[in-house]
A and B are shown apart, each in its own frame.
Chain A
């Protein structure tokens, strides 16, 4: 393949004018018509555009550099040119009169590709220049291929990125739509549920005006009532899930005493406690500080944990609730001596619709949303929750609740009427 190397430009750097002219004439007579000359390292830098990458740096294809120059010598000039990323591929030939190994070593160390010794041998000079230009052209081509390749890859990547972005937007839309459907459906469920709960309530508790029920009717209505309440809990939980997923969960922050809140929850759970003859033992240090948060949500967390502890323990078992200060928060532990949870199940415990699945627990009612909600309610307050369990020995779920709410939201006074809400 014949390549026209004579069209490529060569820069001659030498402080001695005679040497410059001589090199120039030898190169030109061999057909290298584009020869530039510099009388010093500094002048070479200007021609190359060392200080200014947008200069004519692309024009020079090879450099013949004299070693011994006043000011910036050939080695230093070579180093500086090689340090500039946009110049480093220009092959530099050192022109030296000192044929000693140390200076050759210095020339290569500075980044030169080759050297020519004075006095000059024309054939040798032209051969070495030609091979330097060859090298430069080779590198330029390789760079070109590389750049084209990179550009193609870049285009591919941008296309893929665009597609991913579009898919992502689509998924976000779908997720939002799903949350909205969940929210709407849940609200729609509340209306018929209100009717069911309300009329059953009248049948059961207003027999004086509605009329007395016989024993069987009474039993059936109680069954309807129990299931309507389960449905109500599920609807409430689903509504909370839709709030959490849509990011619209609102917290009404107040200061509260952990012990007082837990005692109220235990009081409200007497039916469940008595049904299983469970024992709930509270153990709080007397000087436990207050925490900040949404009272309803804190109660919901305690209710869920206690309810699980009782549900998954044998009858007459003891559930222990302890609390202690830990750093900026208060850690509450709910410990049971029940069947425990396997390690594999522990990892999934706080996810949506997860239920510990075995023959003894399947009969336990539940939606699989309780602990998912519990985790999100704790986290919404800036807290954290974890589980420790050993199969057959029992489970301890503990959560840490910050004393002050991280968002800096002002706590409302805990007195005052709250909108009635039920669980």
Chain B
């Protein structure tokens, strides 16, 4: 069975590397982008199975990237997990209302990220 492909979009290099390593260890194939624009391009080209998307990024922030992704029918079906530093503030709600399937709040734990990704992938398989 081929590995599931996860796109990690995060501008902080340390945190991006941490996510990439963690997810690779957990058995995923991982690709990465350091801003929203690059993430959107990669999503269109590589069709990942799930996107882990940071809110605060240069060029195109997470919300903008999410809106663009959901507006493109060819990639709209890819589940997006939003990563936000803003706790339970409006961001979490906004993300869910904008089409994210889940929200993970910084500082997240490895288990949380893995759980949300597994859950998103399972939901996607059920829907397919």
Contact = CB atoms under 8 A, between A and B. Distances in A.
Interface of A: 187, 190-191, 193-195, 197-199, 201-202, 205-206, 209, 232, 236, 239, 243, 248, 250, 252, 296, 417, 419-422
B12 A419 contact: no
Nearest to B112: A420
A46 to B, nearest CB: 70
14 contacts: A191-B106, A193-B107, A194-B18, A194-B107, A202-B21, A202-B22, A206-B110, A250-B90, A252-B88, A419-B92, A419-B103, A420-B102, A421-B87, A422-B112
B5 interface: no
Contacts of B103: 419-420
B103 to A, nearest CB: 4
B107 A232 contact: yes
Interface residues of B, number: 27
A422 B15 contact: no
B110 A419 contact: no
Contacts of A250: 88-90
Given A194-B106, A194-B107, A420-B105, A209 B25 contact: yes
Interface string B3-19: 00000000010110010
Contacts of B67: none
B104 interface: yes
Q: Which 7 A-B pairs have the closest CB atoms?
A: A419-B92, A194-B107, A419-B103, A198-B18, A195-B14, A190-B85, A209-B25
Interface of B: 12, 14-15, 18, 21-22, 25, 85-90, 92-93, 96, 102-110, 112, 116
B88 A202 contact: no
A191 B10 CA distance: 11
A21 B102 CA distance: 103
A419 B97 CA distance: 12
B25 A420 contact: no
Contacts of B107: 190, 193-194, 197-198, 232, 422
A422 B109 contact: yes
Nearest to A248: B89
A190 to B, nearest CB: 5
A417 B15 contact: no
A198 B110 contact: yes
A243 B108 CA distance: 20
B12 A195 contact: yes
Given A190-B85, A202-B22, A205-B110, A419 B105 contact: yes
A250 B93 CA distance: 11
A202 B18 contact: yes
Contacts of A202: 18, 21-22, 25, 110
Contacts of B108: 194, 198, 420
Given A191-B106, A193-B107, A194-B107, A199 B18 contact: yes
A421 B112 CA distance: 10
Given A195-B15, A419-B92, A422-B105, 20 more contacts: A190-B106, A194-B15, A195-B18, A197-B107, A199-B14, A201-B110, A202-B18, A205-B110, A239-B87, A250-B88, A250-B89, A419-B103, A419-B105, A420-B104, A420-B105, A420-B112, A420-B116, A421-B105, A422-B107, A422-B109
Contacts of B85: 187, 190-191
A421 B105 CA distance: 6
A197 B88 contact: no
Contacts of A205: 110
